[in-house]
Every structure is written in C-alpha cells, then in structure tokens.
Amino acid sequence: MNSVNNLIYLLEKKIESANISTKELVDTIYSADRVFIAGVGRSGLVGKLFAMRLMHIGKEVYIVGEVNTPRIERGDLLIAITGSGSTSTIIHNAKIAKSAGANVLVLTAKSGSMVERYSDKLLIFNMKSKYETKKLDESIFPLGSAFELSALLTLETSIANLIEKIGINEKFLMERHTNLE
C-alpha cells in the first residue's frame, strides 16, 4: 500500500522535471489579454479548477466549448491541457488559436506529441500518458492521474505566484468568489 507521502514524493519528482520554470509560466499567463482553457475529461476538470482561480485573481478567462466563450484573438492565450498530446479536439483548438494570432501554452505528459507543432510554450512533465503501459514508478497512478495531478499542482502554484506578482490578497479573491452556492 502506498502512503500519501510516497505519492507526493513521486509527483514532486515529475513536477521538478518539467521543462519550463514557474516564472516563465506565470509571465506567460500574466501578459495575456485573456486566457482560454481547453481540456477533455479529467484534464478538462483540471482546466476548470484553474479557470476558477484565474477569475478569482481578476483575469478574464474562458473554458473552450462553453456557450459564453468568445472568439480567441491576437494577445490572448490558449492553455491546452492534454496528457497524450493527441486529443483531436485539443489539437484542433490549438490550430485555430495559432491561426487567430493567439499564443498557445500546452501542458502535456511527454515530448513528441502532435499538439506541440501549434505551441508557443510547451510544459512537458516527462511521464507516461494514459495510453502507455505502466512504468514502475508511476504504477500507483492509474491511467493519466500522475499527469493530471502534476498539472493541477503546477497550475495552483502559478496562481500563488500570480497573486504575489499582481499584489492582491485573499480579500480580493473572496470579493470575486461566487455568492450563488
């Protein structure tokens, strides 16, 4: 049986292996006019969690595919979250974003994926996707869980850094928190 500490240790190793720094991630998000987030399945849920926090810190943010999502344009950022890097809808959306002049940040499990050709920034966690056979150090994480958890923790860390960069506090976040629960 695996302990929570073992799980955290394995995730920490994966996150540390990512190829771009937290500062670069934060600067990319900070400089975007608007942020659009695309993900499918559990990766999409990670994206929605991140979108909520971006809204709390005052960023204009949209989830791709929702009815209130406007056209992406130059100056905007698409954050595409795909463990496999081969999710057809994510590739399609990245291609559209690039042709519109937007920047594309891709979070993926490994290099060499199809979505990479449309990315301006690529955050690679160097791990298996849900379609690969298990590697010993990741066998405790079913399917793409290691990627999803790594993406979530990395994005949450970027929120903490954005809060500091913007100069806001939790009171600001609470003022933007929903009152319709």
Q: Which residues are catalytic?
A: 148
Nearest to 79 by CA among 25, 17, 128: 25
Helix (H) / strand (E) element for 44: namely helix 42-56
In degrees rounded to 5, what are phi and psi of residue 173? -65, -45
Query: How far apart are the C-alpha atoms of 74 and 176, rounded to whole Å?
Result: 27
Query: How far apart are the C-alpha atoms of 8 and 151, rounded to whole Å?
Result: 13
Query: How far apart are the C-alpha atoms of 113 and 162, rounded to whole Å?
Result: 29
- The residue whose two tokens read 């999409």 is 44
Query: How far apart are the C-alpha atoms of 67 and 116, rounded to whole Å?
Result: 27
